[in-house]
Amino acid sequence: MRPTSGRTFGVVLAIVCGASAAVARAQEGHPLVGTWHGTWGPTATERHDVTVVLEFDGKAVTGMLNPGPDSVRFDKVTLDPGNWSVHFEATPKGTNAMPIVIDATIQDVTNRRRSLVGTWTQGSMKSDFKVTRDD
């Protein structure tokens, strides 16, 4: 073995490892998985902060609104990849709680910081809704 061949092998190995790491970072999996932050509300000045956490178990998307003691689990999450629309249904806890329905579209689906933009309906109140996925 020539003295430079070990050095050459090390350089090639470093390039291959670097390329593999870049490919691994580019593969994200399901487009809804992750933590999303944003707001919903009827006007530009009347807004409510919201956090959405979504998971995918290989069969279904599950998740919750506002993790913590007052979290609300989604009863149903449906993704239509034909137009990247998403439908969420959730039933908050409490006697006077009204079901929540969110209809949104994934904006900029190939971007890691993509957004869900649409409507938040709770009872007779319909508001706009926008969350952006965390890195």
Tell me the per-residue pLDDT of 15-64, one tens digit each, with 9 for 90 and over.
544 444 443 344 467 999 999 999 999 999 999 999 999 999 999 999 99
Nearest partner of 74 among 97, 105, 101, 95, judged by Cα: 101
Q: What is the pLDDT of residues 81-121, one digit of tens each?
A: 999 999 999 999 987 889 999 999 999 999 999 999 999 99
Nearest partner of 114 among 105, 123, 122, 102, judged by Cα: 105
Check whether domain 34-133 has CATH 2.40.128, yes or no: yes
**Distance between alpha carbon 3 and the CA centroid of its chain, in Å?**
51
